[in-house]
């Protein structure tokens, strides 16, 4: 059971990294939003990002929802890792 929880923690960390990549791609000027990679990143991250954007208002022109989501996911991954370590 501990290895399943550890795997889940790794998947949460990977998802957080994917959100980070999505944020980095927004800084590239002239990036085609219809690029298949960009579209794929949006498809897999929108289910988490859209509700967060509705809850967390932008500060000026800065959308801080990805930062909040990544922090929450990092905390979740750490909790899962700790839980997996206790089960071993």
Backbone angles phi, psi at 55, to 5 degrees: -85, -40
Kindly list the domain boundaries of the chain, sorted by start residue.
2-87
- Per-residue pLDDT averaged across 1-15, rounded? 92
Side-chain-side CA neighbours of residue 15 (13 Å): 22
Backbone angles phi, psi at 3, to 5 degrees: -70, -30
Q: Residue 61: enclosing H or E segment and its boundaries?
A: none
Task: List residues bridging with 59 in a β-sheet.
Answer: 62
Tell me the per-residue pLDDT of 20-76, one tens digit each, with 9 for 90 and over: 999 999 999 999 999 999 999 999 999 999 999 999 999 998 999 999 999 999 999
Confidence band of 88 (pLDDT split at 50, 70, 90): confident
Q: Given this model, what pLDDT does residue 32 score?
A: 93
Q: Residue 19: exposed, middle, or buried by beta-carbon count in 10 A (0-12, 13-18, 19+)?
A: buried
């Amino acid at each position: 059971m501990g290895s399943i929880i550890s795997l889940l923690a790794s998947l949460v960390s990977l998802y957080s990294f994917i959100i980070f990549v999505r944020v980095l791609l927004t800084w590239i000027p002239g990036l085609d939003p219809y690029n298949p990679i960009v579209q794929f990143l949006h498809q897999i991250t929108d289910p988490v990002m859209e509700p967060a954007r509705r809850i967390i208002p932008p500060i000026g022109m800065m959308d801080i929802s990805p930062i909040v989501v990544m922090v929450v996911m990092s905390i979740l991954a750490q909790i899962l890792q700790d839980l997996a370590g206790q089960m071993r």
